[in-house]
Structure 1
Amino acid sequence: MKALKFQFIEKTNKDVYIIGIVDSDKLVEITIFDNSHESKVGNIYRGRVINIVKGLKAAFVNIGLKSNAYLYLGDDRLEEINEGEQVIVQVSKDEFDQKGAKVTTEYSLRGNHIVLMPFNSDIKLSKKIKSIDRRRELFTLAKENSNGFGLILRTSSEFAPEEDILKELNCLIEEFNRIEDSRNFIPTPKLVRAKEGNREISINADVDYVITNDNELYQKIKQTNHGDRAKYDGRFSIRYSEKLYTTFKSLFDKKIELPNGAQIVIENTEAMNVIDVNSKKYFDDYDLNKTILNTNKSAAEEILKQIALRDLSGIIIIDFIDFIDLNEKKEFLEWFTEESKLYNNAPNILGFTKLGLMEMTRRRSINSQFIKERKIDDLW
């Protein structure tokens, strides 16, 4: 019988959401976010340009967050914006570690049925709208009433009355004009428009079912096309599965013990992530090369899992046990590169440095700040 793949969404008593994917009884993906600390992506701010760095072709803008936001200007706009100037910007990427949020001056306004894009004139429709006739009707409606603005017709517009869509369009245009008129108002910095609603929880399309202990969320899922796969269990918690919870707890640990006696130590610094493989087991001379290879492979499997679950990103350096046989070192690198491709958002393996350290880079796909900055006790 094929093992089931499922997604769980646990809401803790501290309003923290733990969202995971389990495949063949193994935890393969995890996301944690504190519902009381919302993402700022989509928020629109009136900010002030603090300084312009021509070498980066960028400006740093005070929008009232912990760090100044990064605004890329490029060659075309480098001379158009001055230090001290007030600007309207929208957050496109949250601040992370010591890096400020990324913002853009080409902001958009999101409504229930449409997204107004004031800085281009494109008309786009959600790919989820399948009816060709309805797509044609919506495109014509948008084109004839856009007033030169760009528009995105969201999925909900498929069944929305024409008058509701036009009414929302006019409201968004009026709101855009108010925001532009307030460009030089005080105080600055100021939140001009907050994004609508709480952080969205995405349901994985490639799972057999979704289970949650949050009845309110369950009722919402039931109203979507995932409704037939939704299950509700008010007692559900990852803590009640020893196997899953053991893996989950390890994400908060600096040191991880492996069954073969090796140990992995994971250090997060501002510049990079450093992972050290230690062997506490005595190696004798009998088949030493094979022992080193097997120990490094065992450690590598756990390291790749930890990188994926912790969503480690940027530069990652791994100090494996030194190889004696150069052919086995080459074999290990080839194996490790192929093994890494089994994971989503696979790292880019750069190989061994002259010092014998494995070097790789990886893009950040989700915000793993919770695991970096909190303890497991902060969840419940």
Structure 2
Amino acid sequence: MNKELIINAAPQGVEIALLEDKKLVELHNEKADASFAVGDLYLGKVKKLIPGLNAAFVDVGFEKDAFLHYTDLSPYAKSLLKFTQQAIGDNTPGGFDFGNFLVEPEIIKTGKINEVLSGKPNILVQILKEPIAAKGPRLSCEISLPGRFVVITPFNDIVAVSRKIHSSEERKRLQKIIESIKPKNFGVIVRTAAEGKNTAELHEDLSALVDTWKQIQGNLKGAVAPAKILSEQAKTTSMLRDLLNEDFNRIVVNDKNIFNDAKNYIQKIAPDKADIVTFFHNGSPIFDQYGITKQVKAAFGKTVNLPSGAYLIIEHTEALHVIDVNSGYKSVSNNQEQNALETNMEAAEEIARQLRLRDLGGIIVVDFIDMKLPENKKKLMEAMEEYMKPDRAKHAVLPISKFGLMQITRQRMKPEVTINTQEICPSCNGTGKISSTLVLEDEIEKNLNYLITHKHSNLTLMVHPIMHAYLTKGWLWSKCWKWRRKFKQKINVVANTNYHLTEFHFFDHHDEEIKL
């Protein structure tokens, strides 16, 4: 699979499109003034404890207090509280040695929030979910710092290896290497990208993350809550960190600074891949050049058409997302069951893409075309799981229910991507209704009567062409002619194609508009 990253820099922010085999699968938007991104670290002040929810509201500087649940406290919450206070008041040149930090006992899973955060202390927290709708950020005290090959978690000494590395020999090799180079008081999770890497590469990545932790410790010194302690890497860099592999064959950027940053980052983490970064400067919009704008227009909206003629209807509610699969005019055989299976398979691939592209989260209910055979239902579920594999968000797919519905849950990390592909109708203002011709006729006549009463003459009425045809139809029996006889005035009716159906304006004999 060929992967391409197209990066469009604009004054309002950066748009990042991920293409797989030329097909748009992810679209990210990093605003220039973005804050409270996932992974950011803040020194927060506990404002309110809610025992009924077993949660706390924490002030991190957002307009609404952030939410911290007991389950997100981390077993090492007491150690984190102790570290936060010690780092804030630290006067040691260069900071105290974290390797000598005495870790506190773990908290119990079934404990109470007010037992841990009594006194409403300041605490180091990490953004778990960005602010969504009217909600503040979701927080976690399970601090983790991700690198290219490893993730470090302070206050423990656990070494874990990604389950996606299937070779038991490789898992043992990586565990042995990490245990030999790991500093004290740091847990390490070995990422899938570490497979096959040597000790030097792993040690370099681990050392960079330990230096980042020292930077956090230094930034806490003398800090006053609420305060940002460390920002997650720019989205471009974090995407390269998480996505870069042998399938990644092109990165195109239209901004010189981002181009240099991306080039330097790739030279550091994968020198053999440095040539895949190219600078786009031919003057035309980069998203138009690579067909992304066209794909965005086709992929967003309530209805999504599939190549075969089948289509999806995607509805959003507060509680869940509903996707309805319709066969359209698709027919691959005279067998209804086979038609349903083929359409459902095609729809499943597009649904998996839409979930990533729109970043839909929470509960998704899919109403596939009904199939009778259990083996076909099983095929569809297996296909959906396969199509969902490239999705980095945590997800789960349930078998098709007896009502023919498939339920999917997907991790929501940030507000979903919504691109409005519709406009409000200028005639009805989105209501779906416009004034009837008779009512509009009466409105025009009423205004005419008012203008003529106020000594206006030689009036010109400008209307939409359809309305013009209606008012002038029949000549001597037309509505326009009747107005002339009634008001004993010359009234010209002129068509204007730029007007919407119910729009009309009056002009005097100097062709100046008369404001009513």
TM-score if structure 2 supplies the norm length?
A: 0.53
**Equivalent of 2:382, from 302, 318, 337?**
337
The separation in 1 between residues aligned to 2:377 and 2:143, in whole angstroms, is 48
Q: CA deviation at 1:30?
A: 3.5
**Equivalent of 1:205, from 245, 255, 275?**
245
* Structure 2 CA distance for partners of 1:101 and 1:241, relative to 1, 3 Å: same
1:300 is paired with a residue of what secondary structure? helix
Aligned to 2:274: 227
Aligned to 2:259: 218
**1:246 and 2:294 correspond:** yes
Q: CA deviation at 1:77?
A: 5.4
The separation in 2 between residues aligned to 1:265 and 1:47, in whole angstroms, is 44
One-letter code of the match for 1:34?
K
**1:12 and 2:15 correspond:** no
**1:178 and 2:222 correspond:** yes
Q: CA deviation at 1:216?
A: 0.8
Aligned to 1:101: 137
Q: CA deviation at 1:350?
A: 1.0
**1:360 and 2:408 correspond:** yes
Give a deviation string over 1:12-55, Cα, whole Å, max 9, x none. 353232231332x333444333232234332313323323244x
The structure, 1 or 2, with the larger RCO (C-alpha pairs under 8 Å, 6+ apart) is: 1
Aligned to 1:313: 361
**Equivalent of 2:417, from 349, 355, 371?**
371
* Structure 2 CA distance for partners of 1:86 and 1:358, relative to 1, 3 Å: same
Is the Cα–Cα contact under 8 Å of residues 126 and 141 in structure 2 kept in the other structure?
A: no
Is the Cα–Cα contact under 8 Å of residues 16 and 32 in structure 1 kept in the other structure?
A: yes
Give a deviation string over 1:255-278, Cα, whole Å, max 9, x none. 112344332111222321110123
TM-score if structure 1 supplies the norm length?
A: 0.69
* Structure 2 CA distance for partners of 1:75 and 1:60, relative to 1, 3 Å: farther
Aligned to 1:59: 56
Aligned to 1:33: 30
One-letter code of the match for 1:43?
L
Q: CA deviation at 1:96?
A: 4.7
Q: CA deviation at 1:100?
A: 3.8
Q: CA deviation at 1:286?
A: 5.3
The separation in 2 between residues aligned to 1:376 and 1:36, in whole angstroms, is 25
The separation in 2 between residues aligned to 1:106 and 1:334, in whole angstroms, is 39
Is the Cα–Cα contact under 8 Å of residues 251 and 310 in structure 1 kept in the other structure?
A: no
Aligned to 2:396: 348
**1:195 and 2:225 correspond:** no
Is the Cα–Cα contact under 8 Å of residues 9 and 19 in structure 1 kept in the other structure?
A: yes
Give a deviation string over 1:164-211, Cα, whole Å, max 9, x none. x7xx95x765644524xx5xxxxxx73253527644523222312322
Give a deviation string over 1:211-244, Cα, whole Å, max 9, x none. 21121111122322342321111246122234x4
**1:46 and 2:44 correspond:** yes
Aligned to 1:267: 315
Aligned to 1:131: none
2:369 is paired with a residue of what secondary structure? coil
What runs of 5+ residues in structure 1 fail to find an aligned partner?
125-134, 144-148, 160-164, 183-188
One-letter code of the match for 1:31?
H
The separation in 1 between residues aligned to 2:384 and 2:156, in whole angstroms, is 45
Is the Cα–Cα contact under 8 Å of residues 361 and 416 in structure 2 kept in the other structure?
A: no
Aligned to 2:169: none
* Structure 2 CA distance for partners of 1:121 and 1:209, relative to 1, 3 Å: same
**Equivalent of 1:288, from 336, 348, 352?**
336
Is the Cα–Cα contact under 8 Å of residues 49 and 84 in structure 1 kept in the other structure?
A: no
* Structure 2 CA distance for partners of 1:330 and 1:90, relative to 1, 3 Å: same
One-letter code of the match for 1:210?
I
Give a deviation string over 1:106-147, Cα, whole Å, max 9, x none. 66899xxxx998x727599xxxxxxxxxx99987xx76xxxx
1:178 is paired with a residue of what secondary structure? coil
The separation in 1 between residues aligned to 2:348 and 2:152, in whole angstroms, is 47
The separation in 1 between residues aligned to 2:205 and 2:352, in whole angstroms, is 40
* Structure 2 CA distance for partners of 1:62 and 1:287, relative to 1, 3 Å: same
**Equivalent of 1:91, from 102, 126, 140?**
126
Task: Identify the structure with the greater helix proportion.
Answer: 2
Is the Cα–Cα contact under 8 Å of residues 326 and 369 in structure 2 kept in the other structure?
A: yes
Q: CA deviation at 1:331?
A: 0.7
Is the Cα–Cα contact under 8 Å of residues 109 and 172 in structure 1 kept in the other structure?
A: no
The separation in 1 between residues aligned to 2:117 and 2:2, in whole angstroms, is 57
The separation in 1 between residues aligned to 2:207 and 2:116, in whole angstroms, is 40
One-letter code of the match for 2:15?
Y
Q: CA deviation at 1:303?
A: 1.8
Is the Cα–Cα contact under 8 Å of residues 42 and 228 in structure 2 kept in the other structure?
A: yes
Is the Cα–Cα contact under 8 Å of residues 87 and 105 in structure 1 kept in the other structure?
A: no
Task: Identify the structure with the greater strand proportion.
Answer: 1
Is the Cα–Cα contact under 8 Å of residues 361 and 410 in structure 2 kept in the other structure?
A: yes
* Structure 2 CA distance for partners of 1:50 and 1:299, relative to 1, 3 Å: same
Aligned to 2:469: none
What CA RMSD, in Å, does the superposition of the two structures yield over aligned residues?
Answer: 4.4
One-letter code of the match for 1:231?
T
